[in-house]
């Protein structure tokens, strides 16, 4: 089976190669089948969501993790409601700069200049972290053909004894060639099921965000290819059965997300604030994001992405993936409201949101 440049088919091909040719390895006692120095290339980075039914991709998790990256917090509070997996990876606090209760795989901490680990600090006296995202943009603005636009994630101090969360990603490299922004991701290790299927979404989203921020200098810049390289691409034995089902399934339909319209600091902060307000009341799928003040700071693309991926809104999902929607929206059932005080998100003004349907109320007398 040859690679095609399309996500679902090449994901399936990788699983087939792992099952047929993967070497058996048992790091930390867990059996895996492993391929060394494996590469997957996407022709269109907007083709970023695995759609095989047996993988059961959670779009809610995909966008939740992306926004967690954007918030750049080493605390797991922002990701635990999406997956309890992260709870077991907290730092013990025994190692300097790796604070107790934090985790290391929120890559936004290291990309956006919030990491206190010495390797990411530009001034050891002041402790000021390096903003790799901003530096990469400035580097490519100075030299369009640069080969130095690299963001580092994994550093030697990550490999201390007892670390449960050693960053799997080594570097993200960006290159502009023929007026397209290409991205090369290098991984030391990648779990094809629980790692790659999420990583490809996060990294291609970052690729498109970076491209938009470079368009101030290069107005005609477009997306290039996405290259994903793993020193160890592997499949754990608990996923052998799932892999077999996917290999034998009919090919899944590839879905391309529509182009982003804008990304800047205002968008980043609005995404964080809207997700935070939604998560604070229990993440109801009937939530009305328009009740959050910062909702209007988001462009149509991001509003559609929030409704589609977090709320699973059918109309928004069709719009985000440019799939025709022939079904009229169903009428909403009457909600038996359960109100929660969210005044902290509205500068202290008395505000309540229904945890079931998302309706907002400012009149406390009617609760």
Q: What is the pLDDT of residues 41-85, one digit of tens each?
A: 999 999 999 999 999 999 999 999 999 999 999 999 999 999 999
- Pick the last residue of a domain from 167, 201, 226: 226
Asked if 243 contacts 278 with a C-beta cutoff of 8 angstroms, the reply is: no
Per-residue confidence (pLDDT) for residue 344, from 0 to 100? 60
Among 108-117, 213-222, 300-309, where is mean pLDDT lowest? Answer: 108-117
User: Which pLDDT band holds residue 345 (cuts at 50, 70, 90)?
Assistant: low
Residue 364 has pLDDT above 50, yes or no: no
| 44 belongs to a structural domain | yes
Residue 93 has pLDDT above 50, yes or no: yes
Q: Write phi, then psi, for 303 (nearest 5 degrees).
A: -65, -40
Residue 358 has pLDDT above 80, yes or no: no
On whether both 126 and 198 belong to a single domain, the answer is: yes
Asked if 202 contacts 229 with a C-beta cutoff of 8 angstroms, the reply is: no
| 334 belongs to a structural domain | no
- Pick the last residue of a domain from 226, 254, 286: 226
- Average pLDDT for 150-178: 95
* Chain position carrying tokens 């190692």: 95
- CA-CA distance, 12 to 250, in Å (whole number)? 10
On whether both 177 and 49 belong to a single domain, the answer is: yes
On whether both 168 and 274 belong to a single domain, the answer is: no
Q: Write phi, then psi, for 160 (nearest 5 degrees).
A: -75, 150
Number of domains making up the chain: 2
Contacts of residue 54, defined as CB under 8 A and 6 or more positions apart, other chains included, come to 242, 245, 246, 249
| 292 belongs to a structural domain | yes
Residue 367 has pLDDT above 60, yes or no: no
Q: Where does the chain have alpha helices with state H?
A: 7-21, 59-71, 107-111, 132-142, 197-214, 240-248, 265-280, 300-305, 314-320
- Pick the last residue of a domain from 198, 226, 254: 226
Provide the 3-class DSSP secondary structure of residue 170: strand
Per-residue confidence (pLDDT) for residue 118, from 0 to 100? 87
Provide the 3-class DSSP secondary structure of residue 40: strand
Per-residue confidence (pLDDT) for residue 357, from 0 to 100? 53
- CA-CA distance, 225 to 228, in Å (whole number)? 10
- Average pLDDT for 10-26: 97
Q: Quick one: what percent of the chain has pLDDT higher than 90? A: 79
Per-residue confidence (pLDDT) for residue 211, from 0 to 100? 98
Strands in the chain per DSSP E: 23-25, 32-42, 121-123, 128-129, 150-152, 169-177, 180-187, 190-191, 222-236, 339-341, 352-354, 360-361
On whether both 69 and 167 belong to a single domain, the answer is: yes
On whether both 59 and 124 belong to a single domain, the answer is: yes
User: Which pLDDT band holds residue 313 (cuts at 50, 70, 90)?
Assistant: very high
Residue 301 has pLDDT above 60, yes or no: yes
Per-residue confidence (pLDDT) for residue 262, from 0 to 100? 97
User: Which pLDDT band holds residue 332 (cuts at 50, 70, 90)?
Assistant: very low
- CA-CA distance, 114 to 104, in Å (whole number)? 12
Residue 40 has pLDDT above 50, yes or no: yes
Structure tokens at 152: 């580092």
| 84 belongs to a structural domain | yes
Cα-based distances in Å from 111 to 73, 124, 130, 153, 332:
11, 18, 8, 7, 42
Contacts of residue 361, defined as CB under 8 A and 6 or more positions apart, other chains included, come to 339, 351, 352, 353, 354, 367
Minimal CA–CA distance to 117: which of 93, 98, 92?
98
On whether both 55 and 201 belong to a single domain, the answer is: yes
| 57 belongs to a structural domain | yes
Cα 171 off chain centre by: 16
CATH number at residue 55: 3.30.572.10
Q: ∠ at Cα 338 (334, 339), nearest 5°?
A: 120
Domain that holds residue 321: 265-327+339-366
User: Which pLDDT band holds residue 365 (cuts at 50, 70, 90)?
Assistant: very low
| 24 belongs to a structural domain | no
On whether both 192 and 323 belong to a single domain, the answer is: no
The rounded mean pLDDT for the chain is 91
Asked if 66 contacts 82 with a C-beta cutoff of 8 angstroms, the reply is: no
């Amino acid at each position: 089976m040859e690679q095609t440049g399309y996500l679902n088919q090449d994901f399936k091909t990788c699983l087939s190669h792992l099952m047929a040719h993967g070497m058996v390895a048992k790091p930390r006692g867990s059996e895996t089948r492993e391929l060394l120095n494996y590469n997957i290339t996407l022709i269109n980075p907007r083709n970023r969501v695995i759609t095989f039914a047996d993988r059961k991709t959670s779009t809610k998790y995909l966008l939740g993790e992306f926004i967690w990256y954007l918030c750049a917090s080493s605390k797991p509070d922002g990701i635990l409601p999406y997956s309890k997996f992260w709870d077991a990876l907290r730092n013990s606090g025994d190692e300097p700069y790796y604070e107790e209760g934090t985790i290391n795989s929120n890559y936004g901490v290291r990309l956006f200049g919030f990491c206190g680990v010495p390797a990411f600090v530009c001034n050891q006296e002041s402790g000021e972290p390096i903003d790799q995202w901003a530096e990469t943009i400035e580097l490519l603005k100075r030299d369009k053909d640069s080969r130095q636009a690299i963001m580092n994630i994994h550093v030697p101090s990550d490999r201390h004894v007892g670390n449960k969360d050693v960053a799997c990603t080594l570097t993200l490299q960006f290159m502009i060639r023929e007026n397209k922004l290409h991205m090369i991701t290098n991984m030391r290790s990648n779990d094809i099921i629980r790692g790659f299927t999420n990583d490809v979404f996060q990294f291609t989203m970052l690729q498109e965000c970076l491209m938009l921020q470079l368009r101030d200098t290069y107005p005609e810049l477009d997306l290039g290819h996405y290259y994903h390289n793993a020193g160890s691409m592997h499949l754990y034995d608990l996923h052998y059965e799932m892999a077999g089902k996917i290999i034998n399934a009919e090919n899944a339909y590839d879905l391309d997300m529509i182009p982003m319209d804008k990304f800047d600091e205002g968008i980043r902060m609005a995404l964080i604030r809207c997700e935070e307000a939604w998560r604070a009341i229990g993440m109801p799928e009937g939530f009305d994001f328009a009740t959050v003040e910062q909702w209007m700071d988001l462009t149509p693309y991001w509003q559609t992405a929030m409704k589609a991926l977090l709320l699973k809104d059918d109309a928004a999902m069709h719009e985000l993936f440019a799939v025709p929607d022939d079904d009229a929206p169903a009428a909403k059932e009457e909600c038996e409201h359960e109100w929660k005080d969210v005044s902290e998100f509205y500068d202290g003004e008395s505000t309540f949101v229904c945890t079931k349907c998302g309706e907002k109320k400012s009149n406390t007398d009617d609760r």
